Structure 1
Amino acid sequence: MINRRQFLNGLAALGGSYVLTGCGGGGSDLGADGSAVVKAMSKTAAAASANGTTVPSATSIIDYQGSVWTLTGGSVYKDGVKAGNNYNVALMLWFGGGVYHQGTGGQFYGWNGSTWIACNDPRLGGTSADGTTIPSASYIIDKAGAVWTVVNGVIYRNNKTVGNTYNVTLLLWYGGKIWHRGTGSQFYVLSDVSTSWLPCADPRIVTAATAGTFFGINGHYDYRYTPAQVVSIMKSTGCSTYRVGCTDDPVQLNAVAKLAQAFQSAGLTLFVLINQGIYDNNRVLLANESVAYNRGKACAAAVATALAPYGVTMYECGNELTRENDIILDSTNAGTKAVDFSNTNWPVMRGVMRGMIDGVKSVQPAAKCGINFCVADIGAADALWDGMQPDGSGGYPKVRWDLTTWHNYEVYGDIFNIGTDGAGPGFDLPTYCKARYGVPFLITEWNTGPESTQAYRATYISTQFANYFKARKTKNVQSVMYYVLDSGDATYGLMVDGVALTQPYGAFTGFIASNPDV
């Protein structure tokens, strides 16, 4: 359905072309400044019907070009000629410079100069203000232009029921999503499936993250920096959290264990990515969910056993697994729908995730385990959380994590208003996750693209830091970890071989110095 702004923009463009056509090739009465045309337009505009005029009760409508619109026998006529294909018209409306009609079924249509386009009643206005509720409002308009109402405790979208709802006491428009509450006080949010309501908390509840780990950065186990040098860099930048990945490979694990020992002494936080994937050493997809679970558990248990003595208590179980080619069906999809993912290979990913969490907990029951997502992967997150397959079938093992972790590169969009498949109406992803999963939210990788100039990157760092920092006190954003300390060149890092890249490094350290994480 086209929204009112789109329709009126089209109407304005059409109106402009109409006037130009009317001006034609010029004549003796057309002054150099077009004053005759302006006068003519002023006369017709002055003669136009009052904004909001309807037929009935009026007998006709006059538009800005002086055309007369009438309603006869249930059809709309313009200057005595039937205007396009229309019938069973109950109401004609002149509003905001446009002509509309409403059929007996209640649907409104707007005239674009040649045909009628379905739309909302333009008198309703545009998208509702964030936080609008029914009651006290009588309706809500979402970003797609759909009109939501509640009648006798049942939710309607464009006059059609949405899933199975009853005893609804509150309908809420918040963070780009529709939520409702029943008489039992339980909140629900509309999922990626247009008729599926998922249980959640009230999204308006303000939740502040624990202070002390907000400013973070990524590194690698095979850096040429010594653990002592990494600690020194962390202190000079003002960062508190360092994300580094490894598997149970002895070379990787020994390197990270040395970092953990140095970080423990320095009072810094090491956030360890357990980088086990869905493939074996020959890049062959693990055979099934059981095999994947056992491999994930063995790897994570080994990592936790080696690092627990050095105070590591936070682990990320897998890196961008939802974006593997064998999992995401089309990498250009945002991941808001469960059907974006492979139903066949889904159990392997679920198994390795469950295995890693259980492996860590078998060694450190109180440790915090995160599961990682990208772009707008709430379709994947919801399915894992609720034990669902991408095909909608349920009853499978649930993946329950202690930390929701996300990657938010510039190309993915604004995480607080992230779109659907790169285009659709945006929504506030951290707010959604806070309400759905009820655990802290961490952005474990963020940056602009490698093609960006150093000046652009510096501006981006300052802007994003400000957006993220504000959210830590309301949306439970516990940490944001810039990617990366040193990329070996000027594409992503803050430094190369210990030498700072002046502009991004200055923006990064300057923001931290001016905004204490308290």
Structure 2
Amino acid sequence: MIKRRQFLRGLTALGGSYVLTGYGQSSSGSAGASPDGTTIPSASSIIDKTGATWTVVKGVIYRNGRTVGNTYSVSLLLWYGGKMWHIGTGGQFYVCNDLDQWLPCSDPRVDVAATPGTFYGINGHHDYTYTPAQLVSILKGMGVTTYRVGCSDDPSQVNAVVKLAQAFQSNGISLFVLINQGIYDSVGNLFSSESAAYNRGLQAAMTVANALKPYGVTLYECGNELTRQVQTVLDFTNAGTKAIDFNNANWPVMRGAMRGMIDGVKTVQPSAKCGINFCVADIGAADALWDGMQPDGTGGYPKVRWDITTWHNYEVYGNLFNIGIDGAGPGFDLPTYCKARYGVPFMVTEWNTGPEKSQAYRANYITTTLGNFYQARKTHNVQSVMYFILDSGNNTFGVMTNGAALNPPYSAFTSFVASNPDR
């Protein structure tokens, strides 16, 4: 999770509470937008959430009378999930990003159902005082089937996670391991080059994967919120929908660390699945990494290709299915975008409301948010959603403290799981 100071940087204090200014809220102009799923043809024009009018004339796409990117022979323009999509020559779908570039994708309207069995998840720490057996009992009592825990390649951390893996393997609980290697060297300085970051990521991931492979661990997350470090994002209040929101000079180091971790896992476990996580609405970063681009728009660099798209979605960032673009602009359906753009399962590996909220508020948020996620698992390829966190050591985030249920959040979580089976 982004540190508390950064977490609130996109907020403006108002009357003792916080009002969202940089993330997640839709503009008032969205009420006049065309219905979701409108196409040309059969409509003659489409109005987006900003009030702009889109048309197609002789196969070329126009917005308010001006061309948008480079298009030709367009047979269908689609308004769906808060984004514009079109079919170009040869039947290829494209989506328009916030820089008016058309990026290749699949048809966003096609429902994709996630494989059942790992949907309900929760985060924990490798240094909990709970024994592995106690954790198994707690998680089974909650109906949790995926447990996310982070570790570096430090032997004490790896050994703690190995003990968890040993206990979980025979109890039907998937361990989702965050390889907590970042963009800094051993003394806290940014790596000097992409290759230095790659080599360190490779080493760390191979160590972790070698230790866990014997115990059935096959799911890894390669780095934590690397797009939201002081050295990688230019302004924490930007939603991240544009590649230019990110630091061009330091981009290769981040890319190298990610590539190294993925390659390290695959060297040890070729069939393992690797995720890269993003925050807020960082599709600008995800697209650039996926396509081998720099934030300045230059291309031809190594591509980062992951098996699972993973995302962090705290309430302050906005509704994941209608998350705002820069400047608190109109929202779009982020999992739909990722489903069509990257074609791999989607996981929410951290989600919660803010630490300042009451327990009653948190319980209601859990019920409502789980409901939204649960509905999307059959259409948006949402494989798993992992609540942050099991035990935070206080009343801020967890659903348990020192082995005792923290209610009503704990009851809200367990009641929802019991009433909504993962099948």
Question: Which category of TM-score, normalised to the shorter sequence, fits these structures?
Answer: over 0.9
Residues 41-74 of structure 1 deviation map (CA, whole Å, 9 limit, x = unaligned): xxxxxxxxxxxxxxxxxxxxxxxxxxxxxxxxxx
Residue 166 in structure 1 maps to residue 166 in structure 2: no
Residues 372-410 of structure 1 deviation map (CA, whole Å, 9 limit, x = unaligned): 000000000000000000000000000000000000000
8 Å Cα contact 1:412/1:422 also seen in 2? no
Matches within 5 A, 1:263-282: 263-282=168-187
* The one of 238, 246, 261 aligned to 1:356: 261
1:375 maps to which residue? 280
* The one of 382, 388, 401 aligned to 2:293: 388
TM-superposed deviation, 1:280: 1.3
1:434 maps to which residue? 339
Structure 1: distance between partners of 2:172 and 2:37: 41
1:91 maps to which residue? none
Matches within 5 A, 1:237-316: 237-316=142-221
User: Against the structure 1 CA distance between its residues 234 and 409, is the aligned structure 2 distance closer, same or farther, given a 3 Å change threshold?
Assistant: same
Residues 339-379 of structure 1 deviation map (CA, whole Å, 9 limit, x = unaligned): 11000000000000000000000000000000000000000
Residue 142 in structure 1 maps to residue 48 in structure 2: yes
Structure 2: distance between partners of 1:464 and 1:237: 17
* The one of 396, 410, 414 aligned to 1:491: 396
AA paired with 2:397?
Answer: Y
Structure 1: distance between partners of 2:32 and 2:141: 49
TM-superposed deviation, 1:283: 1.2
Structure 1: distance between partners of 2:34 and 2:170: 52
Residue 182 in structure 1 maps to residue 88 in structure 2: yes
Which ranges in structure 2 are unaligned for 5 or more consecutive residues?
Answer: 1-30
User: Against the structure 1 CA distance between its residues 227 and 422, is the aligned structure 2 distance closer, same or farther, given a 3 Å change threshold?
Assistant: farther
* The one of 109, 129, 139 aligned to 2:35: 129
AA paired with 1:278?
Answer: I
Residue 397 of structure 1 aligns to a residue whose secondary structure is coil
2:122 maps to which residue? 217
2:227 maps to which residue? 322
1:192 maps to which residue? 98
Residue 439 of structure 1 aligns to a residue whose secondary structure is coil
Structure 1: distance between partners of 2:82 and 2:369: 20
Residues 466-492 of structure 1 deviation map (CA, whole Å, 9 limit, x = unaligned): 000000000000000000000000100
Residue 155 in structure 1 maps to residue 92 in structure 2: no
Structure 2: distance between partners of 1:337 and 1:170: 25
Which ranges in structure 1 are unaligned for 5 or more consecutive residues?
Answer: 1-124
AA paired with 1:358?
Answer: D
* The one of 249, 254, 257 aligned to 1:344: 249
8 Å Cα contact 1:192/1:338 also seen in 2? no
AA paired with 1:175?
Answer: G
TM-superposed deviation, 1:164: 1.1
Aligned Cα root-mean-square deviation (Å): 1.0
Residue 447 in structure 1 maps to residue 355 in structure 2: no
Bigger radius of gyration:
1
Residue 420 in structure 1 maps to residue 310 in structure 2: no
Structure 2: distance between partners of 1:395 and 1:221: 39
Residue 170 of structure 2 aligns to a residue whose secondary structure is helix
Residue 56 of structure 2 aligns to a residue whose secondary structure is strand
User: Against the structure 1 CA distance between its residues 275 and 230, is the aligned structure 2 distance closer, same or farther, given a 3 Å change threshold?
Assistant: same
Structure 2: distance between partners of 1:268 and 1:487: 21
Structure 1: distance between partners of 2:230 and 2:149: 24
Structure 2: distance between partners of 1:140 and 1:269: 45
TM-superposed deviation, 1:165: 0.6
Residue 242 of structure 1 aligns to a residue whose secondary structure is strand
Structure 1: distance between partners of 2:350 and 2:293: 27
Runs of 4+ in 1 over 4 A off after TM superposition: none
AA paired with 2:192?
Answer: A
TM-superposed deviation, 1:183: 3.6
Structure 1: distance between partners of 2:108 and 2:77: 12
TM-superposed deviation, 1:444: 0.1
State how many pairs are aligned. Answer: 394
Structure 2: distance between partners of 1:164 and 1:131: 23
Residue 184 of structure 1 aligns to a residue whose secondary structure is helix
Structure 1: distance between partners of 2:125 and 2:234: 29
Structure 1: distance between partners of 2:170 and 2:90: 50
Structure 1: distance between partners of 2:343 and 2:240: 20
AA paired with 1:177?
Answer: K
Structure 2: distance between partners of 1:466 and 1:477: 13
Structure 2: distance between partners of 1:460 and 1:338: 31
**TM-score computed with the length of structure 1 as normaliser:** 0.75
AA paired with 2:50?
Answer: A
User: Against the structure 1 CA distance between its residues 332 and 432, is the aligned structure 2 distance closer, same or farther, given a 3 Å change threshold?
Assistant: same
2:132 maps to which residue? 227
Identity percentage of aligned residues? 74
Higher relative contact order (Cα pairs below 8 Å, separated by 6+ residues): 2
Structure 1: distance between partners of 2:153 and 2:414: 33
Matches within 5 A, 1:65-104: none
TM-superposed deviation, 1:505: 0.2
Structure 1: distance between partners of 2:341 and 2:173: 30
Residue 416 of structure 1 aligns to a residue whose secondary structure is helix
Residues 282-329 of structure 1 deviation map (CA, whole Å, 9 limit, x = unaligned): 211011100000000000011000001000000000000000000001
